[in-house]
Structure 1
Amino acid sequence: MLIPYDQLEPDTLTSLIEDFVSRDGTDNGDDTPQETRVLRVRHALSKGQAVIFFDLESQQCQLMPKHAVPKEFFD
């Protein structure tokens, strides 16, 4: 299920993004400050390049590039 980012509470969205950008392996050797990475994710969400995907089976929410989400979730 796709969750519209603009329907989340601002603090919830910030926490989700901060968790995403601080996970092991997400910096790929990039020394960009966390706040810059957070802004990049917010920008990707606002441009529709990234989405928030909620997996009903695992009950977990994750950020994903739009192209990685199966097309049936957009219907």
Structure 2
Amino acid sequence: MMLIPHDLLEAETLDNLLEDFVTREGTDNGDDTPLDVRVERARHALKRGEAVIVFDPESQQCQLMLKSEVPKEWLQG
């Protein structure tokens, strides 16, 4: 697993990643908050350091995780 610094991504790439994440099945939990608001919440969580982008090279998938849920060894280095 690799952590991807959000500030190194192109703006459009980050927008697409956040939109993909907040629209994945199971992420809305019945929340009818508008898409743009959910994307901004995720963006702010990244900026505040509360969330991180994790890339799995094996599956070639990115996901957004709460920093508190990331194994400590992933954060070192």
Q: Specify if TM > 0.5.
A: yes
SS in structure 1 opposite 2:64?
strand
User: Identity of paired residues, percent?
Assistant: 67
Mapped pair 1:10 → 2:32: no
Matches within 5 A, 1:42-61: 42-61=43-62
Question: Aligned partner of 1:10: which letter?
Answer: A
Q: Where in structure 1 are there 5+ consecutive unaligned residues?
A: none
SS in structure 1 opposite 2:12?
helix
* C-alpha separation in 2, matches of 1:59 and 1:68: 20
Deviation per CA, 1:10-63: give whole Å up to 9, x if none: 000000000011111211111100000000000000000000001122221111
* C-alpha separation in 2, matches of 1:54 and 1:43: 19
Q: Where in structure 2 are there 5+ consecutive unaligned residues?
A: none
Match of 1:62 in 2: 63
Q: Report the TM-score, using the length of structure 1 for normalisation.
A: 0.94
Question: Aligned partner of 1:56: which letter?
Answer: P
* C-alpha separation in 2, matches of 1:7 and 1:23: 23
Q: Report the TM-score, using the length of structure 2 for normalisation.
A: 0.92
CA RMSD, 1 decimal: 0.8
Question: After TM superposition, where is structure 1 displaced by more than 3 Å over at least 4 residues in a row?
Answer: none
SS in structure 2 opposite 1:53?
strand
